[in-house]
Chain A
Amino acid sequence: MTGTDAGGPADRAGAEAHMRARHGQGDVSGTEALLAAALRADPVDAGGRRRAVAAYRAARDTEPRRAARTRRRDDWRPRGTRRTGRSPRTALSVLLASATLGGVAYAAIAEGGSAPAPGPDRTRSSAPGKEAKEDTGTDAPTRPVTSPAPSVTPSGPGASAPPGRPDPARDTEAHCRAYERLEGRGKAREAPAWQRLVEAAGGEEHVAAYCARQRTAGPAPGRSNGNGQGNGPGTDNGTENGAATGNGNGSGSGNSTGNGNATGNATTGNATTGNGSDGQGNGTSGTAADQPPGGTP
């Protein structure tokens, strides 16, 4: 290019000065105007417009009125209005969805009869704020079931212990309470926990008696080493929770389950004597505890 520029800088400078004189604000905006004029100065082709309008008519006449939905790429409203228009609705629907799902989950837990399960689960994810928030949302009926659970975990520091299940004696207790509450309702009878309870009691018709027995005997193992499965039924539970029993003996826990104490009063004498041999004497204490309620019902 420099080869052909015989005129050179002098010429160009002259031309530029000339131009600048004529275009006072000869800057980028001048360039814009020039380009716009050059590139937009096109008389619209009538044929193109006719075809576009024909396409518009066809689309209008064939498509149902409400068929078109605005995709994200079709939404060119100014940012501010778009966001304020959408966010409260989005927030509300998210809130509603979470509340609904949470409610469904809770209902399933309560009706399923596997009552103790949610307790440890929740305490495991033991962000206190979160738990408090959930608690406010729970219904009254689920309270008695979940309330013992938090008292289990503090006493169970064993990291290797399966955290999923509490002490089997209390497990059975909880099942019994759930059975009482849910009798005749819900799907409790299909739940595995219920099956286990029936199996432990030795038949569906024996469950009530079994539970009564369980409650009278309950506090004793609760306060002792927690090997409460000694009282007869829980061979199944016992093996399953072999590791957990050691942990579950949390001293405070037996006391904190308020109803345990209340019913336990009648048989405290029994139980404490039974405790004396608790080291390995599960079987004996079990049978010992077995007797009195066997007579009571």
Chain B
Amino acid sequence: MQAYDGELGAAVARAQDGDEAAFAVAYRLVQPGLLGYLRGLVGDEAEDVAADAWLEIARDLRRFQGDGAGFRGWTATIARHRALDHLRRRRARPRPTALQQDVLDLPGPLSTHDQALETLSTRAALSLVASLPRDQAEAVLLRVVVGLDGPAAARVLGKRPGAVRTATHRGLKRLARQLGTDAVTDEPPGTLGEST
């Protein structure tokens, strides 16, 4: 996704000058990652939250300064704030979230091994990420799905880069174990399913 950053930066610059088509381009480039990140945060309500976030992005676009990578970080920050607002509201009327349900439905790692390596379904991937501790899940999503580097992810999360780097690494390790893509050989295979 970093490959698009040049194109994204140019589109954002033109959009800031009033080019509507350029704004549509920026949307097309950013929205998949943003939506993936929001799915990890709020589950099935990600589309609504993303729509809220885009209203704010459109409104404040002229305030933004930076390149394509910076735009991804900026939009991720806005989306995250909208998601946290959403979660606060939702906590007022608690009900089982889609993600929690998914965790229960997640098939065992053994049976998903082969198909997971071919195509991991969005739902399964979400469930895996949701099984991580919150800080690790967010760090992984920001890096893998939004495509932010360490410092940018740390800024979005409001944490120190070192802490975010550690969380990312731990989260990815754990996911790799669960997906069976971990090449670490000194671990006995028996630990595979038990880290959940």
Interface on A for B, CB 8 Å cutoff?
1-2, 4-5, 7-9, 11-13, 15-16, 18-20, 22-23, 25-28, 30-32, 34-42, 44-45, 48-49, 51-53, 55-60, 63, 67-71, 73-79
Contact = CB atoms under 8 A, between A and B. Distances in A.
A212 to B, nearest CB: 68
What 4 pairs across the A-B complex have the smallest Cβ distances? Answer: A76-B70, A76-B66, A38-B125, A39-B36
Contacts of B179: 31, 34
Nearest to A27: B183
A76 B58 contact: no
Given A39-B141, A48-B47, A9 B113 contact: no
28 contacts: A2-B194, A5-B110, A12-B113, A12-B180, A16-B189, A18-B114, A19-B181, A31-B172, A31-B176, A34-B125, A34-B179, A35-B175, A36-B145, A38-B122, A38-B124, A39-B141, A39-B145, A40-B36, A48-B50, A48-B51, A51-B55, A53-B58, A56-B20, A58-B58, A59-B58, A63-B59, A69-B63, A74-B65
Nearest to B37: A39
Nearest to A73: B77
Interface string B171-196: 01101100111110000111011101
Contacts, number: 197
A20 B183 contact: yes
Given A52-B54, A55-B54, A28 B176 contact: yes
B18 A60 contact: yes
B108 A4 contact: yes
A6 to B, nearest CB: 10
Given A34-B117, A34-B179, A40 B32 contact: yes
Nearest to B75: A76
A264 to B, nearest CB: 69
Nearest to A22: B117
Nearest to B56: A55
Contacts of A63: 59, 62
Given A12-B113, A15-B110, 7 more contacts: A5-B193, A19-B181, A28-B182, A39-B144, A40-B36, A55-B54, A78-B70
B86 interface: no
Contacts of A8: 190
Chain B interface residue bracket vs A: 35 or more
- DSSP majority for the A interface? helix
A28 B125 contact: no
A37 B119 CA distance: 8
B70 A56 contact: no
Interface string B107-143: 0101001101101111011101100000000001101
A30 B181 contact: yes
A51 B54 contact: yes
A77 B65 contact: yes
A285 B107 CA distance: 110
A77 B51 contact: no
Contacts of B54: 48, 51-52, 55
A35 B129 contact: yes
A35 B32 contact: no
A15 B113 CA distance: 7
Contacts of B66: 75-78
Interface in B10-43: 15, 18, 20, 23-24, 27-28, 31-33, 35-36, 39-40
Contact of A56 (B23, B113, B128, B188): B23
A31 B67 contact: no
Given A32-B144, A53-B27, A68-B60, A26 B182 contact: yes
A152 B120 CA distance: 86
A59 B59 contact: yes
A8 B33 CA distance: 37
B70 A77 contact: yes
B164 interface: no
A32 B28 CA distance: 21
Nearest to A8: B190
